[in-house]
Structure 1
């Protein structure tokens, strides 16, 4: 089996791996001021997608330009999320940085889409493919690929611990080669229960003091997780941004959610914002929690809420996810100021950060890897892939870290 790395090797973002020059695994983008896309020109016979985050699906429609119509295989939630992200990307950036697809290509996605559940094997470009629950977000999958000689397990993004929205990954199918993400290979997450309790105590204190809490959250997975926490602890909350549409997607696919009833209670508990007639400005003055996109303060309704609450020290901004270097969210945490809508704003409100990651930490990665000691291990999707691969090699693994552009032969 030959693997060609087009993106996501030695980096987080634009994941794309071509198997045997015919089957493409993921095709994402790395969002930034100047977005990055997978390298090389390809025409795959079929596409298999691990999950619906921008860095794994963001460039998929571009594969359907011209006369190309390769089938796209994914779980039902991933299909819906990919279409939502594609339309949002086109809306936000279609005329600014040369978005690599148009509405025509997005429409074609629905024509070639083929959805599959977990543990339901199917054929794609001459390979047998099976999805297993990866415990990252609803619909996320480990992807097992068998070409008749070699069995490759592509982990995609995964988590081994339970979240409220999804249960942790437990599937460990036999494989000759493991292609493993490594986002948090040098991090140990606190127990989720401990993080939740600290978050809730902090929010309750702010509400008791008369303040407003803005919770910037990723639209897919994190927004729904935070709403479920607010409901569980009876914290009053509003929800705004793309995450409101993603809630509908998850409720349309209850089999891919850990507890659909709990999600339903969280939705009933929250108040939804449509942004009309100064609604956001009025809500920003309320003694409440506001869960809103974007999670890194790079756009979305957060651009209204943060400036509205920034002047009062009693208010709070609770960051819930990783902040990429150079984003306003990262700047806010490190400097106490952030560039919002082109203006650098000092923030007097309290700023806190909580680790609600949907990725496995170092212990989680090692617990999965331990099941594949006899396999060839390839490390990708991380900022320290080579270092982590060397650590694994020192521990007896046959582990390496490919680079973008590499072609690697692996055997069964």
Structure 2
């Protein structure tokens, strides 16, 4: 088996792995200004997608430009999420270098798409492929690829602990080679119930004091997780941005969430923002939590809310996810100011960060890898891949951290 890394090696973003020159695993983009795409656009016979986050699906429509028509395989939620993200990218950046595909390319994606459930093997580019629940977001999958000689497990992004939205992964299919994500390989997550209670207590305190809490959140997975937490702790909340559409869509796939009834209650508990007639500015005077995109303050309705609440120290901004270096969210946490709509804004509102990660931490990654002590481990999707691979080798694993463009034959 030949494996070549076109993105996502020793970095977080633009995941893209080509197997035997014919089967492509993921094809994402690295958000930024400008965004970064995989180092090569291959011409595979088939594409298999692990899950519906931008860094794994964001560049897929480019694969169907020109005369190329690879088949695309994913779970039902992942297919819907990929199309939602592609159309959002077109809406925001269509016709610019930040959007490398057209509306016609997106339409071709729908024509080439085939959906599969978990543990339903299928053929793709001459390989047998099977999805297993990865516990990251609804529809996320470990991808097992068998070419007849080698069994390759691509973990995609995964979590071993339960979240409110999805249950943690328990799948450990036999494999000879494992491509393992390592986003949080040097971090131990806080106990989730303790984290939730600390978040709820902080938000409620601000509301009691007459303030407003803006909660920047990723539209896919994180927004729904926070809605479930707000319903559980009876926190009044609004939801804005793409998270509204994603929440509605995920309710169509109850078998891919942990508790469909809880998600229904959470949606009913929240109030969806329409954005009409100055609603957003009026909401900044409400004693409520406003859950809104974007999670890294790089666009979306957050650009309206943050300037409105930033000067009042009673208000609060609670960041809820990983902040990529160079994003306004990262700048805000590190310096207390950020570039919002072209202006550097100092923030007097309180700033807090919570690790509601949907990725496994160090313990979770090691727990999964314990099942693969006899396999070769290829570490990717992290900013310390080489160091984590060295730690694994010191513990007896056969492990390495491939570089971008590197090809490995097994």
Query: Residues 123 and 129 of structure 2 are in contact (CA less than 8 Å); yes or no, is this contact kept in structure 1?
Result: yes
Return the alpha-carbon distance in structure 2 between the equivalents of residues 128 and 197 of structure 1.
44
Return the alpha-carbon distance in structure 2 between the equivalents of residues 198 and 98 of structure 1.
38
Match of 1:91 in 2: 91
Match of 1:285 in 2: 285
Match of 1:359 in 2: 359
Residues matched between the structures, number: 410
Q: Does 1:315 align with 2:315?
A: yes
Q: Does 1:149 align with 2:149?
A: yes
Q: Does 1:305 align with 2:305?
A: yes
**What's the CA shift string for 1:191-230, capped at 9, x where partnerless?**
1111101000101110110110100000000000000000
Match of 1:379 in 2: 379
Query: Residues 241 and 300 of structure 2 are in contact (CA less than 8 Å); yes or no, is this contact kept in structure 1?
Result: yes
Return the alpha-carbon distance in structure 1 between the equivalents of residues 104 and 95 of structure 2.
15
Residue correspondence of structure 1 range 115-130 to structure 2 within 5 A:
115-130=115-130
Match of 2:167 in 1: 167
Match of 1:43 in 2: 43
**Partner SS state of residue 37, structure 1:** coil
Return the alpha-carbon distance in structure 1 between the equivalents of residues 5 and 325 of structure 2.
24
1:249 deviates by: 1.5
Return the alpha-carbon distance in structure 2 between the equivalents of residues 64 and 6 of structure 1.
17
Match of 1:263 in 2: 263
Deviates more, 1:40-49 or 1:166-175: 40-49
**Partner SS state of residue 249, structure 1:** helix
Cα RMSD (Å): 0.7
1:98 deviates by: 4.9
Q: Does 1:370 align with 2:370?
A: yes
Query: Residues 41 and 63 of structure 2 are in contact (CA less than 8 Å); yes or no, is this contact kept in structure 1?
Result: no
**Partner SS state of residue 255, structure 1:** helix
Match of 1:219 in 2: 219
Q: Does 1:4 align with 2:4?
A: yes
**Partner SS state of residue 72, structure 1:** strand
Residue correspondence of structure 1 range 400-411 to structure 2 within 5 A:
400-410=400-410
Match of 1:177 in 2: 177
Query: Residues 228 and 263 of structure 2 are in contact (CA less than 8 Å); yes or no, is this contact kept in structure 1?
Result: yes
Return the alpha-carbon distance in structure 2 between the equivalents of residues 351 and 57 of structure 1.
31
Match of 2:68 in 1: 68
**Partner SS state of residue 295, structure 1:** coil
**Partner SS state of residue 330, structure 1:** helix
1:42 deviates by: 1.3
**What's the CA shift string for 1:345-387, capped at 9, x where partnerless?**
1111100000000000000000001110000110000001011
Query: Residues 9 and 404 of structure 2 are in contact (CA less than 8 Å); yes or no, is this contact kept in structure 1?
Result: yes
Q: Does 1:140 align with 2:140?
A: yes
Match of 1:272 in 2: 272
**What's the CA shift string for 1:309-337, capped at 9, x where partnerless?**
11111110011001111111111111111
Return the alpha-carbon distance in structure 2 between the equivalents of residues 253 and 88 of structure 1.
21
1:96 deviates by: 3.0
**Partner SS state of residue 331, structure 2:** helix
Return the alpha-carbon distance in structure 1 between the equivalents of residues 331 and 100 of structure 2.
29
Return the alpha-carbon distance in structure 1 between the equivalents of residues 122 and 303 of structure 2.
44
Detail structure 1 runs of 4+ shifted over 4 Å in the superposition.
none
**Partner SS state of residue 291, structure 2:** strand
Match of 1:201 in 2: 201
1:41 deviates by: 3.9
Query: Residues 34 and 98 of structure 2 are in contact (CA less than 8 Å); yes or no, is this contact kept in structure 1?
Result: no
Return the alpha-carbon distance in structure 1 between the equivalents of residues 98 and 289 of structure 2.
37
Match of 1:296 in 2: 296
